[in-house]
Amino acid sequence: MKKLTAALMALFTIGYCFAQTPAEKQKIDALLKKMTIEEKVGQMTQVTLGVVCTPVDGVLDTAALRKAIVDYKVGSILNVTGHALTLDQWHTVVTQIQDEEKQTRLNIPIIYGLDGIHGQTYTLNSTLFPQSIAMAATRNVALAAAGAKVTAKELRASGVRWEFAPVLDCGRQPLWSRFAETYGEDVYIGKTFGSAVIKAYEEDGLKNPTAVASCMKHYIGYSASRTGKDRTPIYMPDIEMREYYLPQFREAIKAGASTLMVNSGEINGTPVHANKYLLTDLLRKELGFEGVIVTDWEDIERLYTRHLVAESPRKAVAMAINAGIDMSMVPSDFSFYTLLLEAVQKGEVPVARIDDAVKRILALKMKVGLFENAYPEATATANFGKPEYQTIALDAAHEAMTLLKNKNNILPLAKDTRILVAGPAAQSISALNGCWSYTWQGKEEQWYPLDSKTIMQALVDKLPVGNVSNVSVRGFDSPANYDVDKLTAAAKDADVIVLCLGENAYAESPGNTRDLALPDNQVKLAEAAAATGKPVILVLAEGRPRFITSIEPKMSGVLMAYWSGKKSAEAIADVLLGNYNPDGKLPFSYPRSMGEMVLYDRKPTEDIREIFNADMNNTGYDPLYPFGWGLSYTSFEYSNIQLSGNTLKGNDTLTISVTIKNTGKRDGKQTVELYTHQHFASITPNMQRLRAFKKIWLKAGDTQTVSFTLTKNDLAFVNAQLKTVTEPGSFDVMIGGKKATFTYAQ
């Protein structure tokens, strides 16, 4: 044991980090010297609000609070007991917690953490933005950052300074119930949006009442579960991990992420919470992350209860802490505190490792200004719920809307069109917002702001009286929403049917599905709508692509609305009625069926459909709608792709320009996307990789030239030795259907 301790000590004295000034470092060192082992272990303990709460939401139990803070010395609290609280309730909760902390010997403030992946989940009347999958569809990084800034302000206004976001998991498995929380299947989009959002949370400086500490999650590979079920095994070779899942975290660390949450699953048979290679060697040493590593929910105990790699709860604790975990989201009891103390006493966890973790936690608390003032700040409160946040939410929802089909330009609908609204999502607020919306699951509509609109209401608001008829009811699962006969009868008096299908809100494991096909009752409704002979516009409110392959040919229009937050309904109505010209682009390949789940950055042989020997074709990438797809009410023509040279040499740059003309009759936005493909490489080259994008606005008839500058890093990939390299060779560069070729030479 001595030997182990010495080795670990050497490893863990790699220095802590991110207290900004030498004076702060000194303060942390001085504090650490005064702390007992119990106080240190307490700092590493995080419990959920339920542990210190009465059965009434948001009302604390003073005896339980004392037990947690004074007896068990916990350093952090998270979460809610049931649903979002008012701003005032949060202030009371946080104040009581920090007051109680004043009863402790060293007065180390408590850090509270909350989830807010698309807006501040747990404060009533906060502003909810599109989920990340929809944000990625906007291809507007500045807009995502603007939304994140609002989220930071509304969280800080609530008295909380630690945000459990963003999710940096790459959405390459559409079955996964957390797909909506991702930025989709592409690495470049993931790292660009992820790092922009982290900057938005933190860049004002965490002592400033407009900023919060971010938590990049869930490190690493979480989204790649084999079966698509949440928290189930991942098998992933290092080359795949480094190519598709690690770059987002590397960029996030460079962007200044303060904390990181760990993947609850296992990779290649080792739970990530027990994986010292991933948590210490790769994350700390190679990527240089210096912030706090927090577990996900109950994940240390689960090394024993679920993963079966630890023979006892204490061994689980020792395993995780020795692997590199700093804080345990225990969260429902104090077992971690007791077990870690025991493990330290038995020499199973070196005190140096504890000191390393506690230093990082204290540094975080210092960084967010808790030592100066741990209470809700009046200046922060003033930033809650400003009217302009609604505009950002509407802009984001508008830009997320992705028009997938528009047969014979049926859309936009004329203002005198008689519309029949149908389908379970037509009068649902939760199906427009999805997970993490005032409750974890997002399903309880009583907690949503009173001015939240349904698609039906938004259409009624925007059309002349009497033009909207309706067969939908509140309650996504209500049988009345699937009444085929009622729909058929009502369609007689309508010019067009707006059929709102998709998924009601869900989060994490409750969203596991056995099948991506739309449920039968929705398919039947779509078939009945089509059978009326009236044109049907399908609006999809969903967190992941549910198969619509059998009904899609019968639809005149298809609008992908995702879960686009507070202003979803208004944005949908604006697109249907032409008040907004859609510009969203799919951030994933919309699959046809289970057997056609090929991603856009496929390998050469995925492109090939071999029949026999030479008898083959290149139709392997055959999604219903490809990555990057999205129609507009105007048209754009690309021409004149130009390169600054035929060769990119060494560390030089290559400029690529292309001309885009708005050839239609409406002004509109267009995302210009640049893809590359290397002809031959030591590792099978991707058929396409998105390397850059720019979103422009063009008036009808106008022309603009857009330029991109590439370096060799933009062409890099992970080779067999797990090094990120750029190999000499020929490359295609593709923009808007135009192609040019160049060579990279070292």
CA distance 129 to 200: 15
- When the beta carbons of 155 and 558 are compared against ligand BGC, the nearer one is 155
- When the beta carbons of 215 and 497 are compared against ligand BGC, the nearer one is 215
Q: Is 296 a catalytic residue?
A: yes
- When the beta carbons of 78 and 316 are compared against ligand BGC, the nearer one is 78
CB 387 within 8 A of CB 452: no
- When the beta carbons of 238 and 508 are compared against ligand BGC, the nearer one is 508
**Residue 217 Cβ vs ligand BGC, minimum distance, rounded to whole Å:** 6
Strands of the sheet containing 738-745, edge to edge, are: 647-649, 738-745, 729-735, 668-678, 689-698
Give the closest residue to 43 by CA, choosing from 23, 69, 18, 25: 69
- When the beta carbons of 330 and 343 are compared against ligand BGC, the nearer one is 330
**Residue 293 Cβ vs ligand BGC, minimum distance, rounded to whole Å:** 13
CB 533 within 8 A of CB 495: no
Query: 736: left (phi > 0), else alpha (psi -120 to 50), else beta?
Result: left
**Residue 45 Cβ vs ligand BGC, minimum distance, rounded to whole Å:** 15
Give the closest residue to 327 by CA, choosing from 294, 360, 358, 296: 294
- When the beta carbons of 115 and 714 are compared against ligand BGC, the nearer one is 115
CB 424 within 8 A of CB 431: yes
- When the beta carbons of 78 and 558 are compared against ligand BGC, the nearer one is 78
Give the closest residue to 198 by CA, choosing from 155, 131, 259, 263: 259
CB 552 within 8 A of CB 590: no
**Residue 297 Cβ vs ligand BGC, minimum distance, rounded to whole Å:** 4
Rg (C-alpha) for the chain, rounded Å, is: 26
**Residue 180 Cβ vs ligand BGC, minimum distance, rounded to whole Å:** 13
**Residue 430 Cβ vs ligand BGC, minimum distance, rounded to whole Å:** 18
DSSP string, 640-661: EEEES-SEEETT--EEEEEEEE
CA distance 332 to 68: 11
Strands of the sheet containing 654-662, edge to edge, are: 636-643, 654-662, 703-710
**Residue 76 Cβ vs ligand BGC, minimum distance, rounded to whole Å:** 12
The residue from 115, 186, 230, 296 that is catalytic is 296
| Residue type for position 344 | V
242 strand-pairing partners: none
333 Cβ neighbours under 8 A, 6+ residues apart: 47, 51
> How many C-beta atoms lie closer than 10 Å to residue 408's C-beta?
8
- When the beta carbons of 149 and 217 are compared against ligand BGC, the nearer one is 217
716 Cβ neighbours under 8 A, 6+ residues apart: 724, 725, 726
**Residue 46 Cβ vs ligand BGC, minimum distance, rounded to whole Å:** 10
* Separation of first and last alpha carbons in the chain: 50
- When the beta carbons of 79 and 581 are compared against ligand BGC, the nearer one is 79
CA distance 672 to 415: 31
**Residue 332 Cβ vs ligand BGC, minimum distance, rounded to whole Å:** 12
Give the closest residue to 30 by CA, choosing from 108, 110, 100: 108
CB 235 within 8 A of CB 173: no
Cis peptide leading into 535, omega within 30 of 0? no
214 Cβ neighbours under 8 A, 6+ residues apart: 163, 165, 166, 197, 198, 201, 202, 252, 257, 258, 259
- When the beta carbons of 154 and 673 are compared against ligand BGC, the nearer one is 154
Tokens coding 507: 């989060």
| Residue type for position 461 | D
Q: Three-state SS string across 227-281, please?
A: CCCCCCCECCCHHHHHHHHCHHHHHHHHCCCCEEEECCCEECCEEHHHCHHHHHH
- When the beta carbons of 112 and 675 are compared against ligand BGC, the nearer one is 112
652 Cβ neighbours under 8 A, 6+ residues apart: 711
- When the beta carbons of 12 and 440 are compared against ligand BGC, the nearer one is 440
CA 491 from chain center: how many Å?
39
**Residue 72 Cβ vs ligand BGC, minimum distance, rounded to whole Å:** 20
**Residue 259 Cβ vs ligand BGC, minimum distance, rounded to whole Å:** 11
Q: Three-state SS string across 306-368, please?
A: CCCCCCCHHHHHHHHHHHCCCEEECCCCCHHHHHHHHHHHCCCCCHHHHHHHHHHHHHHHHHC
CB 697 within 8 A of CB 667: yes
Binding site for ligand BGC (CB under 6 A): 78-79, 115, 164, 217, 261, 296-297, 508
Q: Which residues are marked as active site?
A: 296
